[in-house]
A and B are shown apart, each in its own frame.
Chain A
Amino acid sequence: AQSVTQLGSHVSVSEGALVLLRCNYSSSVPPYLFWYVQYPNQGLQLLLKYTSAATLVKGINGFEAEFKKSETSFHLTKPSAHMSDAAEYFCAVSSGSGNTGKLIFGQGTTLQVKP
């Protein structure tokens, strides 16, 4: 079975500081990994995805994530936080088996950006 663990339900950073949101996964098959962002009262928007190509994945809004198989991690980073980055972030995994892209999500991390 697949699972995702996001370390830290709330992360607070100052504007301009490094953003680091942690995600560890468990999968018996090579995983597909995703980061989604959710702004208040909106649906989810894909930030980036790992599909077994390059291990360093660049996404939208300056975010990137690195797939580390040895650590079973897929942490999300951004060098400099902006106030508009305040939102909830979800890490998700999919196996792709059975020709389905159904996603297994972590519990989410709320990012607060302080001025």
Chain B
Amino acid sequence: GAGVSQSPSNKVTEKGKDVELRCDPISGHTALYWYRQSLGQGLEFLIYFQGNSAPDKSGLPSDRFSAERTGGSVSTLTIQRTQQEDSAVYLCASSLGGQPVYEQYFGPGTRLTVT
């Protein structure tokens, strides 16, 4: 079956612009995670959605970052007024449930470059 897909695969934007990154999870997966992979910080958790529960936003680095998940499926990560330090690969993962016993399946990521 289809895995987790992310779009775009690459995004180059100018400093100060807003960007939207999209994640399509595996059908039927109720949990969705966003992570960021950068040279300086490694792999960091950003935000987590589980069903209709309030999202866990504890990993978002600033209020310029936000995310939503519509209809319990597709998720969009929005970065406002992008800065050069936002350059990274943004990874999305989904799983059958929110507990760690459920394997997280990762998408290929979106590489964001802020110039």
The interface of chain A, by Cβ under 8 A from chain B, is: 32, 34, 36, 41-46, 49, 51, 90, 92, 94-96, 98-108
The interface of chain B, by Cβ under 8 A from chain A, is: 4, 31, 33, 35, 42-45, 48, 50, 53, 56, 59, 91, 93, 95, 97-104, 106-109
Closest to A41 in B: B108
Q: Say whether A104 contacts B31, CB under 8 Å.
A: no
Q: Say whether A101 contacts B31, CB under 8 Å.
A: yes
Closest to A43 in B: B106
| Given the contacts A49-B103, A105-B43, A100 and B48 also touching, CB distance less than 8 Å | yes
Q: Say whether B106 contacts A32, CB under 8 Å.
A: no
A94–B101 CA distance with the chains assembled, in angstroms: 10
Q: How far is the CB of A23 from chain B (nearest CB, A)?
A: 14
Q: Which one, B59, B91, B98, contacts A43 given CB within 8 A?
A: B91
Q: Say whether A43 contacts B109, CB under 8 Å.
A: yes
Q: Which one, A44, A94, A96, contacts B106 given CB within 8 A?
A: A44
13 sample A-B contacts, Cβ–Cβ < 8 Å, listed by A number:
A43-B107, A43-B108, A94-B100, A95-B100, A98-B56, A99-B50, A100-B48, A100-B50, A101-B48, A101-B97, A102-B33, A103-B33, A103-B43
Residues in B neighbouring A96, C-beta threshold 8 A:
99-101
